[in-house]
Chain A
Amino acid sequence: MKYYSYFPGCSSSEGTAVAYGLSTQAICGPLEMELVELEDWNCCGTTPYSSTDELASVAVATRNLALAEKTGLDLVTPCSACYTSLNRANSQLRQYPDLRDKVNDCLTSVGLEYKGTVRVRHLFEVIYNDIGLKVIESKVVNPLSELKVAAYYGCQLVRPEPGFDNKYNPQSLDEFIVSLGAESTPFPLKDRCCGSSLVIPEVDIALGLIHKLLESAASGGAKCMVTVCPLCQTNLDAYQAMASRKFGTRYNLPILFFTQLLGLALGVEPKALALDKNIISTERVLARFTSKSAERAPATSKSAIERESSLRTKALLKGRE
């Protein structure tokens, strides 16, 4: 069993991306990892705060780091924006001593202290690196064969913090899709911006970006798209109808959280993956797998089917090389 401190972020805990939070909980069991929710965590502040007040934004974000430091565990978040802003707090504190002194002063006023030792990680990176695709492959009981998936990295999984995947041409999510038995389709704009929170004040700009992404994914033959960020999912899923109206298109492309796809392949009961919260219905594309997954859900012991699926995935992986 692997243990982590867990930072769900506002939208995955109960808001627009609640399906992300639910499906994350659902895959922990089969992956033998335990996410211990950080007690009384607060919003990371993200771009709106750091664009308004540098000191207050870093101090508010650091409250979470101070709470996490007491647990001694890595702090894991499924949200790319939280990942970036918590990492940003860490790196600003390291780089700017003046800022660090003031942030410490702010934290002292509420009886907290941060020494600077917490490692902030993205849930996808943890699954990719700590669990590993080989293990995932061996646990796949419901291979997503012939499912054509576009891997959407978005911005803040691979940028700006270096070290996890190639920041110009990331591959990890594509490999992940293949390990589930599915097929990752060509998607040239896979790391381009969805408009993020600009979708509220600058909806036209954001719709233009959303349209380009859908077009790029669909032209590669994708039947659905997989994301690692609550904001990306909401923009591409909830705003897809608006973008279609504006540009006269009809992609009807389901947008899944990577945890939903993973859960399906691991044989998690579809209900636990909150697929019913997706606005563009996933039924047409996933029906083949959800019925199988529901049948298989009670029995998750190692079986011949598992081994067979793993062999098939291996063959698929080889085929790609």
Chain B
Amino acid sequence: MNSVASKTSDVLVMTTEGEEFLEEVCSIPGGESVRWCIQCGMCSASCPNVAQMDNSPRRTIALIHAGRRYDVLKSNTMWVCASCYLCTVRCPKEVKITELMHALERLSTYYGLTTKRTTTATMYRAFIDSIKSNGRVHELGMMMKYYLTTVLTGKTNPFSLVKMLPLALNLMLHRRMTIKPTRIKGAEQIKTIVERAKALGGVK
């Protein structure tokens, strides 16, 4: 994997090792669609967050075809995707780019390659923990967990949180934050479903 990854030449060449990564992406629901890409660039041109991405959506697909697993999974690209689906509806070849972004987030987590520059994964985890314990998302709890984790791991500057205070206060004053989480009756069912999914080995 690393020999492929360390090549930084801008010419993207297909290798046998490369094929392995392409196959892996194609085996994921939605991922198979990267085969149809014609590199027209419509996705990148449509993306509201392309300026903040290490690799544009089009380049990400080129890198997948070239087998550059590390470059793709280590990038911040999928973590700043807002799931707006503009790329997906505009792609002339019906490549499911948004689905691909989600799949790359999963793969990047799976291989432990998630870039340290993003805290999106931490937010996702706080969100899911909330679902797992109550069956629903408790927004206040989820946000506190996210900020606590990122401050403790040094990813959020505690002073920058001061800027967030008026916002939090406003939401409280307008009674848009509940203090206590609601737990559904079927919260245990959710746990069982998640455990069963794990036992089945998931689908990446």
Contacts and interface: CB of A to CB of B under 8 A. Distances in A.
A and B: interacting chains: yes
A200 B140 CA distance: 12
Size category of the binding interface on chain B:
35 or more
Contacts of A205: 49, 52, 80, 82
Interface in A11-68: 11, 13-19, 40-43, 45, 47-56, 59-60, 63
A52 B125 contact: yes
B192 interface: yes
A114 B48 CA distance: 37
B34 to A, nearest CB: 16
A59 B80 contact: no
B163 A201 contact: no
A126 interface: no
A138 interface: no
Interface string B142-172: 0100100000000000000001001100110
Contacts of A201: 79, 118-120, 122-123, 146
Interface in B171-204: 171, 174-178, 182, 184-186, 189-190, 192-194, 196-198, 200, 202-204
Interface in A55-105: 55-56, 59-60, 63, 84, 92, 95-96, 98-99, 102, 105
B98 interface: yes
A172 to B, nearest CB: 16
A215 to B, nearest CB: 14
Size category of the binding interface on chain A:
35 or more
B88 interface: yes
B170 A279 contact: yes
A47 B139 CA distance: 15
* Best-buried of B143, B163, B194 by chain A (most CB within 10 Å): B194
Given A16-B176, A167-B89, A53 B106 contact: yes
Secondary structure type dominating chain B contacts? helix
Interface stretch (A115-123, A153-161, A303-311): A153-161
Given A11-B139, A56-B194, A193-B84, A200 B189 contact: no
A60 B200 contact: no
A155 B85 CA distance: 7
Interface of B: 28-29, 48-49, 52, 78-80, 82-86, 88-90, 98, 101-103, 105-106, 109, 118-120, 122-125, 127-128, 130-131, 135-139, 143, 146, 163, 166-167, 170-171, 174-178, 182, 184-186, 189-190, 192-194, 196-198, 200, 202-204
Interface of A: 10-11, 13-19, 40-43, 45, 47-56, 59-60, 63, 84, 92, 95-96, 98-99, 102, 105-107, 109-110, 112, 155-156, 159-160, 167-168, 192-193, 195-198, 200-202, 205-206, 209, 234, 238-239, 241-242, 276-279
